[in-house]
Amino acid sequence: MDEKIDIYSYGVVLLELLTGRRPLEPEFGESVDIVEWVRRKIRDNISLEEALDPNVGNCRYVQEEMLLVLQIALLCTTKLPKDRPSMRDVISMLGEAKPRRKSNSNEENTSRSLAEKHSSVFSTSPVNGLL
Amino acid sequence: MKMKIIVLFLYYCYIGSTSSVLASIDNVNELSVLLSVKSTLVDPLNFLKDWKLSDTSDHCNWTGVRCNSNGNVEKLDLAGMNLTGKISDSISQLSSLVSFNISCNGFESLLPKSIPPLKSIDISQNSFSGSLFLFSNESLGLVHLNASGNNLSGNLTEDLGNLVSLEVLDLRGNFFQGSLPSSFKNLQKLRFLGLSGNNLTGELPSVLGQLPSLETAILGYNEFKGPIPPEFGNINSLKYLDLAIGKLSGEIPSELGKLKSLETLLLYENNFTGTIPREIGSITTLKVLDFSDNALTGEIPMEITKLKNLQLLNLMRNKLSGSIPPAISSLAQLQVLELWNNTLSGELPSDLGKNSPLQWLDVSSNSFSGEIPSTLCNKGNLTKLILFNNTFTGQIPATLSTCQSLVRVRMQNNLLNGSIPIGFGKLEKLQRLELAGNRLSGGIPGDISDSVSLSFIDFSRNQIRSSLPSTILSIHNLQAFLVADNFISGEVPDQFQDCPSLSNLDLSSNTLTGTIPSSIASCEKLVSLNLRNNNLTGEIPRQITTMSALAVLDLSNNSLTGVLPESIGTSPALELLNVSYNKLTGPVPINGFLKTINPDDLRGNSGLCGGVLPPCSKFQRATSSHSSLHGKRIVAGWLIGIASVLALGILTIVTRTLYKKWYSNGFCGDETASKGEWPWRLMAFHRLGFTASDILACIKESNMIGMGATGIVYKAEMSRSSTVLAVKKLWRSAADIEDGTTGDFVGEVNLLGKLRHRNIVRLLGFLYNDKNMMIVYEFMLNGNLGDAIHGKNAAGRLLVDWVSRYNIALGVAHGLAYLHHDCHPPVIHRDIKSNNILLDANLDARIADFGLARMMARKKETVSMVAGSYGYIAPGKV
């Protein structure tokens, strides 16, 4: 169950990516953190779109995609550790929330070469003088 | 894990269709193309600051830009600017570009899919990865291709042979594998072929012998096996042939003697057998000949003395026998002669060095006899003179002690007699003077004390009779002074106030009298002090117990009196204490390591009692030794032995590096000599291109980039490998140090060092001594995610679209899943937060600081320390 504490922290990072806010901000009010701030919006029936980072979620279909990930973030930050998903579950859920288009750098990011895994940045070559 | 293969695709556009564009429009376009190229580059040192729009700006004058007579950009030279980021696709619009150089930068991402029809491309010394070059048929114009010093991999394919215009092909220092394609024979214009430092296998193809223009072939540092094809003797133009460090075998073909232009022939570290072919003597152009580290037998052929241009002759570490051809002393260019570790015998030519500007002479570990030639330094260039483990007789020539160029003199274990000539102390470059294990008599020359350069003096095992010069231990750079096993008399000099570097002092087995001066405690760096087997009297000075580095203290077999200082057991670094066979009295303190000291190290002092010895009331002598402790000493002996072998290996490697530096080029910057600070140990998890001292030089306040719960982070730029590191110096309390928990840490970090995943920060090494620990990570260019989201760094501007943020979320998830599910035992991070997620040059997420929170927390073993950061900790945990 130990890894569940990482899952919670990961959920907080997801919320940071979604809202652009820090985990603790004065605006949240006393002893309320980003998790509670989002949950309170749900309880108060405030539309969750308002919580999203306005610099990122500035059009309708992007907001839809972001809300899918917000659901994952909420799952990760549930109070009971046993209710939190495993990291493998998170990956498959993220797969279903994948944005529909690619960014400029996306192609490279998803197809990095084998060399990077198997070789160090430091070559053994005499050209480097690193014998 | 599934390996993804990527194709690095250099596509060269068809030339004809682009040539008719109007030049005037080009000029405006090209300026904006350059600006667009700049916009995707990360230029931390602002090399491209003049790349900007202004009324007077002519982009042809911008840094690194050169235009042709029509005002079109024909050359881009962005080498060595510390650039990262992306090469924009728009570069393909520079239709007149023929030469493109981005060497010595930090590029990782792929080249653009299309590039103009270049004649010359240099992407060397970056971090490009990829498995293959694919060349379209239109790229035949390429003349110069340098991709050395990257992380490229995969096979060299047959279509390389289509680049028939190629004159320079440099792929050194990558991870290419497989055998050489036979299509290489089509490269009839090839002058330079550099393939060294890859993982290439198979036999050397004989078709390389059909390349009529080849001048330089650097194929070493691969895994080629089998013989050298005799056809190599047909490459008339060949000047430089490097086949060093591989698995080549068989005899060296005599056909190589036909190479009439060859200047350099490097065949070292292979499995060549047989004799050195006499025909080598007909390559009169030869300057550098290195056959070392093979299994060559027989004699050194006389014909080798016909190589009038020879500057370097290295035949060490073979099985050569016989004597040195006397005419070798006639070689008027010879600078380096290394013949060590063979079974050579006879005398050195008596006029060796008379005609040759010798710099390095190493004939150690052979069976040479006779006298040391007095002419070795006639030309005044001799820096290394290494003659140890032979049977040289006679005196040390006085011409050596006036040889101002000398840096190392190592003549131990010979049969030299006479006295040490006066003058070595006046040689301003001399660092090592090793004369141990001879029959030297007389005294220690007084001028040795005046030396400004000596760091290692070993006169042990001779017949030196004199007292120690009173200021000899004050030599400013002296690290080791070893004169054991002589007839040195008088007192230990009381001049320890100025011994800034001394770490090893061995005066054992002499006839020293008087007391141990208490000023010895001011030698802050002294690690080993051996005074055993003298006639010292008086008490053990209490100040010795405060010495911060002293690990080995041997005072046995003297006539010391008094009691053991109470605090000796808790002396900061002491590991080995031997006071046996003295006249010490009183109780053995029961503290620190004295609680477990081997009674043998205390025996022979009839007045000592208590502690590990029989209780004081009974006055019994300690008798039998404990076998378990004895066992520990054997282990310690082994460790020392292994360490020495390692040290020798490192020495060899360093020597090699120096050679490479001499005889090859292509470095980005100057290599700085490593200082080799002794107490630091560097545990490497990857192949590293830097040393502990390189890193330590960067640990200073101006390089601090962050501070966290686990330590301070410094940025460390390694100039020699153009690598940037992040070094985290861990917080450690004095209690940790006393507990000696470093060992646990080493084990834990070792585990963490084995973790490999594209979404966790690579742990490159671990640097530690008894007080401090530093973890060496790769440096992440784009800082941490927290700063990026919350707008404190430049990467923030790149994180304004959801796809980029989603990719980061996915990357972190993959990294965490690896730590949780693929590692055994699973690694729980315990401090996941946006500040611990770093962004690499591609804005890929890399998890940092894994494992540390637990290590720090567990050590404290108190409930008050909660791993994690507020705001990120699960509710139940707070």
Q: What is chain B's length?
A: 878
A6: chain B residues, CB-CB within 8 Å:
816, 819-820, 828-830, 832
Q: Do the chains contact at A121 and B814, CB–CB below 8 Å?
A: no
Looking at the complex, report in whole angstroms how far the Cα of residue B376 sits from the nearest Cα belonging to chain A.
31
Q: Which residue on chain A is closest to B111 by alpha carbon?
A: A108
State the pLDDT at residue B696.
84
Can you say how many angstroms the Cα of residue B242 is from the centroid of all Cα atoms in its chain? Answer: 22
Q: Which residue out of B789, B792, B812, B836 would a mutagenesis test of the A interface target, given it has the greatest number of A Cβ atoms within 10 Å?
A: B789
Show residues of chain A in contact with B870, CB under 8 Å.
23-24
Most confident of the following: B83-97, B420-434, B472-486, B728-742: B420-434
Rounded to a whole number of angstroms, the distance from the CA of B71 to the nearest CA of chain A is 32
Tokens matching residue B618: 């009974």
Looking only at the bridges linking them, the beta strands covering B240-242 and B264-266 are: parallel
User: Distance, in angstroms, between A94 CA and closest chain B CA?
Assistant: 7
pLDDT, tens digit (0-9, with 9 covering 90-100), for B164-173: 999 999 998 8
How many A/B residue pairs have CB atoms within 8 Å? 253
Q: Which amino acid is at B510?
A: N
- Cα distances from A130 to residues B55, B127, B154, B200, B413, in angstroms, run 47, 15, 22, 18, 33
- Among the residue ranges B189-193, B297-301, B652-656, B675-679, the one predicted with the least confidence is B675-679
Question: Taking a C-beta distance cutoff of 8 angstroms, is the pair B228, B251 a contact?
Answer: no
φ, ψ of residue A38 to 5 degrees: the values are: -70, -45
Tokens of B685: 């998890």
Among B39, B109, B120, B42, smallest CA distance to B81 is for B42
List the single residue in B3, B660, B876 with the smallest CB-CB distance to A131: B660
CB B711 within 8 A of CB B730: yes
Residue B55 annotated among the catalytic residues of the structure = no
Lowest mean pLDDT among B66-75, B323-332, B371-380, B862-871: B862-871
User: Tokens 């320890």 map to which residue?
Assistant: B496
Burial class (CB in 10 A: 0-12, 13-18, 19+), B612: middle
Beta-bridge mates of residue B362: B338, B386
* pLDDT given for residue B792 in this prediction: 66
Q: pLDDT digit string (tens) for B205-238?
A: 999 999 999 999 999 889 999 999 999 999 999 9
Distance in angstroms (rounded) separating the CA atoms of residues A7 and A114: 29
Q: Which residue of B has its CA nearest to A128?
A: B667
User: H-helix or E-strand containing B858?
Assistant: helix B852-860
Over residues B278-286, mean pLDDT: 96
Q: In this structure, is the dihedral angle defined by the CA atoms of residues B245, B246, B249 and B255, taken in order, positive or negative?
A: negative
Distance CA B217, CA B215 (A): 7
What pLDDT is attached to residue A48? 85
pLDDT band at B372 (very low <50, low <70, confident <90, very high): very high
Locate all alpha helices (DSSP H) within chain A, ordered by sequence.
Answer: 4-19, 34-43, 60-76, 87-96, 106-110, 114-118
Q: Answer yes or no: do B130 and A113 touch at CB < 8 A.
A: yes
Question: Which helix (DSSP H) or strand (DSSP E) does residue B457 occupy?
Answer: strand B456-458
Among B109, B667, B803, select the one facing A102 at the smallest CB separation.
Answer: B803
**B816 contacts A129? CB cut-off 8 A:** no
Q: CB B873: neighbour CB atoms within 10 A?
A: 21
| C-beta neighbour count of A1 within 10 angstroms | 7
According to the model, what pLDDT value does residue B509 have?
A: 96
- Residue given tokens 């503290």 in the structure block: B591
Set of chain A residues whose Cβ sits within 8 Å of the Cβ of B762? 121
Indicate if the alpha-carbon torsion angle B751, B757, B759, B761 is positive or negative. positive
CA–CA separation, B755 and B748 (whole Å) = 12
| Number of Cβ within a 10 Å radius of residue B858 | 12
Q: Do B873 and A88 touch (CB under 8 A)?
A: no
What token pair was written down for B424? 């070595």
What pLDDT shows up at residue B841?
82
- Which one is catalytic: B831, B840, B844, B849? B831
Q: Which residues on chain B are in Cβ contact (under 8 Å) with A65?
A: 802, 806
Per-residue confidence (pLDDT) for residue B797, from 0 to 100? 64
Picking from A6, A124, A129, the nearest residue to B829 by CB comes out as: A6
Alpha-carbon distance of B505 to B488, in angstroms, equals 14
A91 and B688 in contact by Cβ < 8 A? Answer: no
Of all residues in chain B, what percent are helix, strand and coil, respectively (each to 5)? 25, 20, 55
* Of residues B4, B173, B812, nearest to A10 (C-beta): B812
Q: How far apart are CA B291 and CA B276, in angstroms?
A: 9
State whether B828 and A5 contact (CB < 8 Å).
yes
Question: Which is it for the CA torsion B207, B211, B212, B218, positive or negative?
Answer: negative
The band of B743, judged by pLDDT with boundaries at 50, 70 and 90, is low
Q: Point out which residues pair with B42 in neighbouring strands.
A: B84
Distance from the A42 Cα atom to the nearest Cα atom in chain B, whole angstroms: 19
B873/A8 CB distance under 8 A = yes
Within 8 A of B834 by CB-CB distance, chain A residues are 13, 16
Q: Give the pLDDT band (50/70/90) at residue B794.
A: low
- Residue B625 and residue B603 in contact, taking contact as beta carbons nearer than 8 Å: no
Using alpha carbons, select from B645, B618, B765 the residue that is nearest to residue B695.
B765
Residue of B nearest to A77 (CA): B874
Do the chains contact at A109 and B808, CB–CB below 8 Å? Answer: no
- Give the tens place of pLDDT for each residue, B823-848: 777 888 888 999 889 998 888 899 98
DSSP label of B249: E
Q: Which ipTM score applies to this complex? A: 0.80
**Chain A partners within 8 Å of B873 (Cβ):** 5, 8-9
Please give the structure tokens belonging to residue B256: 């190589």
Q: Beta strands B763-768 and B681-684: pairing type?
A: antiparallel
Q: How far is A43 from chain B (nearest CA, A)?
A: 19
Q: Output phi, psi for B322, to 5 deg.
A: 80, -165
Q: Do B110 and A108 touch (CB under 8 A)?
A: yes
CB contact under 8 A, A13 and B671: no
Interface contact flag, B877 A119, Cβ < 8 Å = no
Task: Record the tokens describing residue B712, joined without a space.
Answer: 């301070």
Please list, in sequence order, all residues whose beta carbon lies within 8 angstroms of the beta carbon of residue B788, skipping any fewer than 6 positions away.
B782, B795, B796, B798, B799, B839
pLDDT tens-digit map of A10-68 = 999 999 999 988 888 888 876 688 999 898 888 888 888 888 888 887 777 888 889 99
Per-residue pLDDT of B591-617, as tens digits, reads: 877 877 888 889 899 889 888 888 886
pLDDT of residue B633: 52
Alpha-carbon distance values, B813 to A57, B817, B850 (Å) = 21, 6, 14
- The reported pLDDT for the residue numbered B135 is 52
Closest partner residue to B871 (CB to CB) among A12, A90, A117 is A12
Bridge partners of B115, per DSSP, are B12
Partners of residue B369 on adjacent β-strands: B347, B391
- Do A126 and B220 count as a contact with CB atoms less than 8 A apart? yes
Residues 6+ apart with CB under 8 A from B46: none
Q: How many CA atoms lie within 13 A of B431 on its CB side?
A: 5
Report residue B637's pLDDT band, with 50, 70 and 90 as the boundaries. Answer: low
User: What is the length of chain A?
Assistant: 131
Residue with tokens 């209690």: B735
Sign of the CA dihedral running B776, B782, B786, B787: positive
Helix axis angle, A87-96 to A60-76, nearest 10°: 170
Smallest CA–CA separation between B822 and chain A, in Å? Answer: 11
Res B138: pLDDT? 53
**CATH number given to A3-122:** 1.10.510.10
Compare all CA atoms of chain A with the CA of B667 and give the residue at the minimum distance. A128
Name the amino acid, one letter, at A28: F
| Strand blocks (E) in B267-377 | 271-273, 288-290, 312-314, 321-322, 336-338, 343-347, 360-362, 367-371
DSSP codes, B97-116: --EEE--SS---SPPPSEE-
